[in-house]
Chain A
Amino acid sequence: MTVTETPAPRPPATGQWWRRNQMRVAPWLFLAPGIAFFALYVIYPIFQSFNISFYRWDGLGEPVPVGLENYRQLLDDRAFYTSLRNNVKWLLLYLLAIPGGLFIALFLNQQIRGMRLYKSLFFFPFVISQVVVGLVFAWFYNPAIGLFNPLIGLFGVAPMNVLGNPNTVTYGIIAAGLWPQIAYCMILYLTGLNAVDPEQVEAARLDGAKGWKMLWYVILPQLRPATFIAVVVTVIGAMRSFDMISVMTNGGPFGSSRVLAYYMFEVSLSEYGFRMGYGAAIAVVLFLIMMVYIAFFLWRMWREERGY
């Protein structure tokens, strides 16, 4: 924003309102449709959800105001705590996608024949829908037909039913989720590595830096923009996990693989009845957790904008 606005030289008062005011009016004309859509479908519903969370409502009849009752119920809801705990697991383990992606990017950052194709093929799990990724991994884990058990058998591990066991199910789904996410982080780092200053690398090499030291002190600082984006998209991805849980386990067995996003859906729109108010309360909790993170992101962005 170093360039200051020079108002267009106005032609001698022709009396045309548009000519005189277009600099002020034009931005709002361009913004109007976008803002209208966004306000109607995104901004306003956020407030509505807050409001609905103070009611008991089946989505059809008259909503009954219940004050904080929904939130009080949440405190005693074991399924809510299970979901929350699983959200934490998702968040922490999903972050492994970042070193994972970096590792593959470093492995592939070479120029041999066909490397471009290899990179695309490594990346393409990200392009597949999570629904299909979920199905593919559900079959992969399936004790009857999947390759997973024979594979771990090679290392002497006894066969197991990953998705049927409450103790392993969430890890199984997270591993499936990591697959496309690692691919995404990989492509971010490959682009970042491309932009690493070769002179700095050579200079560091002459100074005797190599391997881990080089990576830590020379390369990673230059990859910071890529790391930042990788963290942003990975955290969002972790908190949005829904598709895979829905496809692979439906939250089971015994609700042990639910996360807040899934539990909210289940409470609001499932065969057990529509509890929109309670669902909205869960959504509000999820939203507030995310808000901490969104605020951090905006704050960082704001700092950068000022430096413009």
Chain B
Amino acid sequence: MFPTPVERRSAAMQATYKALVPVALILWLLPLLMVALFSIKPDSDFTQGNLWGLPTSFAGFENYARVFTDSAMPRYLLNSVFITVPTVIGAVALSCMTGFALGVYRFRSNIWIFFMFVAGNFVPFQILMVPVRDLTLNMGLYDTRLGLVLFHIAFQTGFCTLFMRNFIRALPRELIEAARVEGVSEIRIFWYVVLPLMRPAIAALSVLIFTFIWNDYFWAVVLTQGVETQPVTAGITAFNSQFRAAYHMMSAGSIIAALPPVMMFFLMQKHFIAGLTLGAVK
């Protein structure tokens, strides 16, 4: 263990450390705590200059309820769901197949196709922006959720393929060889032998892609524009101009917009971190 475990230090050191960790955490999350505090304050606190003190009354329920009743936020959240979920399904499905093909078979162009996916995944969005927007317009999908979903699926396939291929490479090959000797067809090998083993990878990728897509802002602004289609990251701007200078409302809105990936993270922590740190250990 490095650094030296505190249990091996003096009692005073241990006590100091245990006190220091929560203090550090509070400092670390300070900007967020400020917003959380704002979100439960009544309007009057702001006009009376009681910014960072305790709220004079608890207005949390009121503020958060108003986000849902007085604004288009529910619509934006729903749009986000309808954009994120199909993207996750599509990208994971495509990359299970590409990952399988690149991880299991040996053929000459294998590495080059793999590199194409990896390189494409690192490309700056701006080099794609004008043509993708134009393509989406020409397909009649501009300002639709489907247009956004199709692009997201395509782009995420790059990262997902990298992930899946490396995962499949690490699976025991004997299983596949044995199935082949038995005369099982390649498609059945994929479906019955490899796919069940990929469950942890599928879980990890799903959580990661969910977060990436939910948090996407750039493509939402480029490919959609109205309350009917925009996800919550883009909608929050409209929300904030509706509640201009009403900091308690803007804070509550931001927290709601940020919440789904946070919940996803806390529920699926193990998978999330496994996905994120793939390759950080050899």
Interface secondary structure of A, over-half rule = helix
B121, chain A: closest CB distance, angstroms: 8
Judge whether A81 is part of the interface by a CB distance below 8 angstroms.
Answer: no
Cβ contacts A212-241/B at 8 Å (1 or 0 each): 001100110000011001000000100110
Beta-carbon contact of A225 and B282 below 8 Å = yes
Given contacts A22-B185, A124-B265, A132-B258, contact A112 B6 (CB under 8 A): yes
With an 8 A cutoff between CB atoms, is A139 at the interface? yes
CB pair A135–B151 under 8 Å, yes or no, is no
The count of chain B contact residues (Cβ–Cβ below 8 Å) is 106
Expressed in whole angstroms, the minimum distance between the Cβ of B228 and any Cβ of chain A is 19
Question: B158 touching A109 by the CB < 8 A rule?
Answer: no
Contact string, A109-130, partner B, CB cutoff 8 A, digits 1/0?
1111001001011101101111
Please give the distance in Å from A154's CB to the nearest CB on chain B. 12
Q: In the docked arrangement, what's the CA distance between A85 and B110, Å?
A: 39
Are A109 and B119 in touch, CB under 8 angstroms? no
A137-B32 Cα distance, complex, nearest whole Å: 8
**Contact code string A186-213 (vs B, CB < 8 Å = 1, else 0):** 0110011111101001000000001000
- In the complex, per-residue mask of B270-282: 1 if CB is within 8 Å of any chain A CB, else 0: 0001001101111
Contact with B along A26-60 (1 / 0, CB 8 A): 11111101110110111111101100100000010
Residues of B close to A293: CB separation below 8 A: 122
Q: What CA separation (Å) do A130 and B220 show in the bound complex?
A: 13
B123 neighbours in A (Cβ, 8 Å):
42, 46, 287, 290, 294
Cα of A282 to Cα of B130 in the assembled complex, Å: 12
Determine whether A96 belongs to the interface, using a CB cutoff of 8 Å to chain B: no
Please give me the residue from chain A that is nearest to B269 by CB atom: A120
Choose from B100, B120, B265, B281 the contact partner of A192 (Cβ within 8 Å): B281
Among candidates B28, B98, B183, B221, residue contacting A122 with C-beta atoms closer than 8 Å:
B28
Interface pair A35/B98, CB less than 8 Å apart:
yes
B21 to chain A: which residues have CB within 8 Å? Answer: 107-108, 112, 115, 118
- Known contacts: A38-B120, A43-B116. The answer to whether A280 contacts B6 by CB under 8 A is no
> Smallest distance from the beta carbon of A16 to chain B beta carbons, Å?
10
Contact of B130 among A41, A194, A196, A268 (CB under 8 A): A268
Once the chains bind, are B111 and A302 in contact (CB under 8 Å)?
Answer: yes
For B274, give the chain A residue with the smallest CB separation: A191
Supply 10 A–B pairs (Cβ within 8 Å), ascending by A: A3-B173, A42-B120, A42-B158, A121-B29, A127-B261, A151-B30, A187-B276, A215-B2, A242-B217, A287-B127
Given A214-B2, A294-B123, 19 more contacts at CB 8 Å? A30-B101, A37-B157, A38-B158, A41-B135, A110-B6, A111-B5, A112-B18, A118-B22, A120-B266, A125-B28, A136-B254, A139-B35, A145-B51, A187-B276, A193-B2, A194-B281, A243-B233, A261-B124, A290-B124
